[in-house]
């Protein structure tokens, strides 16, 4: 089975994040693995969309 390219599964999006949250996220990513910020944002967005019924 062929592996899907990152760019085929993800799209770059520009969003605004509160400064205090971004500071905490940047500190957390220092100990997290590569791609963890992307995974976190996608998981949180999916959770919120499901909760709202979308």
Q: By the 8 A CB rule, do 17 and 45 touch?
A: no
Q: Which of 21, 54, 52, 53 is nearest to 40 (CA)?
A: 21
Distance between CA atoms of residues 27 and 50, nearest Å: 28
Question: How does pLDDT run along the chain (54 residues), one tens digit per residue?
Answer: 789 999 999 999 999 999 999 999 989 888 988 889 899 999 999 999 999 999
Question: Kind and range of the H or E element at 25?
Answer: helix 19-29
pTM of the predicted model as reported, rounded to 2 decimal places: 0.77
- pLDDT score recorded for residue 41: 93
- pLDDT score recorded for residue 50: 98
């Amino acid at each position: 089975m062929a592996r899907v390219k990152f760019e085929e599964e993800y799209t770059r999006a520009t969003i605004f994040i509160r400064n205090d949250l971004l500071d905490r996220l940047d500190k957390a990513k220092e100990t997290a693995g590569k791609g963890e910020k992307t995974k976190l944002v996608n998981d949180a967005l999916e959770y919120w969309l499901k909760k709202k019924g979308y």
